[in-house]
Structure 1
């Protein structure tokens, strides 16, 4: 890629008068030797998988393989349709859709890791709900995935996207940043605004630990996906309103690396701390072990 960080990415966008998604697609084609049409076709397939997962999670009775989770997406969607959500309709819809995809993942269904399975619901939740709200064609959302991919590329190469390495800030946080930046571009924001959205989003999740109960990507991972979708929308709205990240987004990514590296191992996907070691968390783990025996 021609860019190593978000600052370089913005400079290229400004020099060539192109969007982040255009730069990412062109660079990926150059690096892989594949035509842009083939790369776009693959990304289009990924987006169809995301939409299918949303539909499956909202229309089928989903229960995780452990039996611990399932059905929350349908509960939130039913509430959205029959009440007046405090966060507003679009936020509640994105939350329900994010939960739906995460529950499909927990039931061993087909999802797209964006950037990981543990954070797979955030981008689909934001994208599919926005598509339904604004009437965008699939092609528009597919371009947004290239923007999200460029942001994820920078984060992955300058910090973490793995909870085992950097805590949940690396998984949920990265996905929120990717979704926020992409949504900003999809709404017509400039590359600078998209990058500010990334910084605003990441600052809100710094220090978030990874503490899966029973070592499973379910509790609290699924609900964090739901909240993450709402946070991404909020960060995008802030950026589109003209709010800027006072700390440059690249520096925020550097802080994610610093914070993640300082986290004790018990807060990095080992299930040895946090919610996993509460009395209820330990009880659930004990029951799961007994069930396996």
Structure 2
């Protein structure tokens, strides 16, 4: 896909009286020179890979470092108690985000959405909604195209890697993609999709990438939870009619500006933030002593 702005997608939706999903899938077909069936099959495979990753989660598995593993299971057990502040649906989303992030750290098969470090956000909200709501797999596949279109614009205008722009470019972008997809699933307008995307990304502007011991584990996995819950709240705000005062493309540009000016110590180098706390130094020394 080659869209350079969300504004252009909105313009095409209104001019052609088509949904966000329809504009994105048509562009994918034209640019990739594939059939509609081929495009849908590819997206369906990604969705099934997300489902498989969730179904095959092993709560007893730990990452090689020992820093990650088991928290998804703990959250599911907490969910069973039906006593969470967030309620059953959001608690399920939290559990799914943890499960996916831990699976990545444990070298299980996941879908980078848009990156491996942010792989828990989109599956967490879509799998949970699919299981809780009366929607079809077809609806989810269409929502994934919406998420993909949003991610493509952000990648074109800014970046989607922690090394380039900090975690705002990973979890922040994943959160924005998920929020837009959720609005689409509730039949929100294309303008509401844009407002949700803008508000979601704004909330995580400046988020640094500061992995402990240089591993995509701490604080990365739990940040996927924040990205997922942020997506829920902003989708609901947009659906309620709340608008972003700053247009979505300008928010994306702001994210790029922040990322370009962010010190390299906060961009996946493990040289700042949580990565250089006393405990982080202890962990790194412990892992080095065991050749991990």
Bin of the TM-score, shorter chain as denominator length: over 0.9
Q: Aligned partners of 1:142, 1:76: CA distance in 2, in Å?
A: 27
**Matched-pair contact (CA < 8 Å) for 2:180–2:197:** yes
Rounded to whole Å, the distance in 2 between the matches of 1:49 and 1:210 is 26
**Pairwise CA distance, 1:269:** 0.2
Question: What is aligned with 2:265?
Answer: 266
Whole-angstrom distance in 1 between the partners of 2:286 and 2:3: 48
Cα deviation, residue 3, structure 1: 3.1
Q: Superposition pairs for residues 224-239 of structure 1, below 5 Å? A: 224-239=223-238
Contact 1:165 1:260 survives alignment (8 Å)? yes
> Which ranges of structure 2 fall in alignment gaps of 5 or more residues?
none
Structure-2 residue corresponding to 1:89? 88
TM-superposed CA distance for 1:98, in Å, is: 0.9
1:160-209 deviation per Cα after TM superposition (whole angstroms, max 9, x unaligned): 10000000000000000000001100111011101100000001000000
Q: TM-score, normalised by structure 2?
A: 0.98
- Confirm or deny that 1:282 pairs with 2:276: no
Distance (Å, rounded) in 1 between the aligned partners of 2:224 and 2:157: 23
Matching residue of 1:29: 29
> In 2, distance between residues paired with 1:205 and 1:38?
35
SS in 1 for 2:83: coil
Q: Which residue of 2 aligns with 1:48?
A: 48
Structure 1 portions without partners, runs of 5+: none
Q: Which residue of 1 aligns with 2:14?
A: 14
Verify the 8 A CA contact 1:65 1:108 in the aligned structure 2.
Answer: no
Alignment coverage as a number of residue pairs: 292
Pairing 1:188-203 to 2, within 5 Å after superposition: 188-203=187-202
Q: How far 1:148 moved relative to its partner? A: 0.3
Structure 1 residue 21: deviation in Å?
1.3
Q: 70-79 or 133-142, which moves further after superposition? A: 133-142
Q: Residue 56 of structure 1 contacts residue 100 of structure 1 at CA under 8 Å; is this kept in 2? A: no
Q: Secondary structure at the match of 1:292?
A: coil
Distance 2:189 2:171 in 1: 24
Q: Does structure 1 conserve the Cα–Cα contact (< 8 Å) formed by 2:82 and 2:88? A: no
Change (3 A) 1:2 1:226: closer
Question: Does 1:185 find its partner at 2:184?
Answer: yes
Report the CA distance between 1:55 and its aligned residue: 1.8
Cα distance between partner residues in 2 of 1:266 and 1:105 = 24
